[in-house]
Amino acid sequence: MFDHLDLLPADPILGLSQVFAKDNCTDKVNLSVGVYQDDNGNTPVLDIVRRAQQIMLDEQTSKAYIAQAGDAGFLSGMSELVLGPIAALLATDNRVATVQTPGGCGAVRIASEVLNKCNPGGKVWISTPTWANHQPLVTSAGLTIAEYPYYDRNTKTILFDDMMAALRQASRGDVILLHACCHNPTGADLSPSQWDSLADLCKENGLLPFIDFAYQGFGQGLQDDAYGVRKMAQKVEELVIAASCSKNFGLYRERVGAMIFIGSTGTATAAAKSHALSEARRSYTMAPYHGAGIVGYILNNAELRTDWETELANMRGRINGMRKRLCIGLNQAQSSTDFSFIGNQWGMFSFLGITVEQVLELRSKYGIYILESSRINVAGISDSNIDYVVEKIAQTVS
């Protein structure tokens, strides 16, 4: 039967890493992959993860199934991490429910299935541009896509007025997919006042915010990065959040995520959770425990959590430091393009704003790999390669 299938092309992001691996350039630099890297180019196991894992293994007496919704310590810890003090307030009325998922992708997909149950074929508004996997995950659940303008590639700024104008055309019950922080792929984040205005619009027009929270702690800090999520939780009656522990805990391959439902009533929230569990049962039954158990141990132990926050701050500091050095270096090395915008953005990603031809030139002549959209992963820059990266980008754009 398989001979009736067409061979599909490799994923444009994951496939590029395979091309990079075969490149014989001695100075090659991979700035395309979406993972954190330290100054040695490694994606390390965090020290705090090693400690928590050892504690968990020492205390663990069984590998039996856990509850379908997930590990209790993980669920309570993630709810508090994402929502802060608001989590306890919502819990008094049973208006919040958290379900463990296989990574952030699992959270987006299963939550989309639930939203499609609420409104079959309903409309989800996504930013232009957005993460490449958003549209496939949402449409695979049966939902339809509309787009709102977000980023001006010429001015390197957020098109907030245009964004709001587009969303004012959305119908009551439409879903608005938002990036909580560290917007992927642009690095351009909404300000607190813009989040305030957006929350007011969602409340007034009956729009349902669906927030992808993949990078908490990688932007301005755990609390600042959560501003938009928590503002929405305070303002609107219904909210969906897809959270990931891949980046801030370095647990990429463990596939650790959570979806959080906030409903207008406890009954409505319980119904949303029940449908999420039903969809999960038909797909993977329950998310894997190991990574979530590690996160649960860290978030529920004061000493472990403090040490994790320190390690996370170090990762964030490295990213932000490299971002500033790249910005300053490019502006000093050439004068044809102003790269100051890079220093005003957050998280791992930014658009360089160069052409596809220039992207391909960087790849073929210098072994510098970035996506054809010109998205660059700042975390792939290190002390050992930043001078080379700056020099070759400057030569290419001049």
Residues recognised as catalytic:
131, 212, 247
At position 242, the amino acid (one-letter code) is A
Asked if residue 288 lies in contact with residue 255, where contact means CB atoms within 8 angstroms, the answer is yes
Collect all residues with Cβ–Cβ distance below 8 Å to 26 and sequence separation of at least 6. Answer: 367
Q: Tell me the C-alpha distance between 297 and 302, whole Å.
A: 10
Asked if omega into 129 is within 30° of 0 (cis), the reply is: yes
CB-based contact 260:241 (threshold 8 Å): yes
CA distance 295 to 216: 14
Helices (H) and strands (E) in the chain, counts: 15, 13
With a CB cutoff of 8 Å and minimum separation 6, the contacts of 315 are 36, 218
Q: Which helix (H) or strand (E) holds 226?
A: none
Residue type, 31: L
Choose among 150, 148, 168: nearest CA to 159: 150
Got the DSSP string for 273-295?
Answer: HHHHHHHHHTTTSS--SHHHHHH
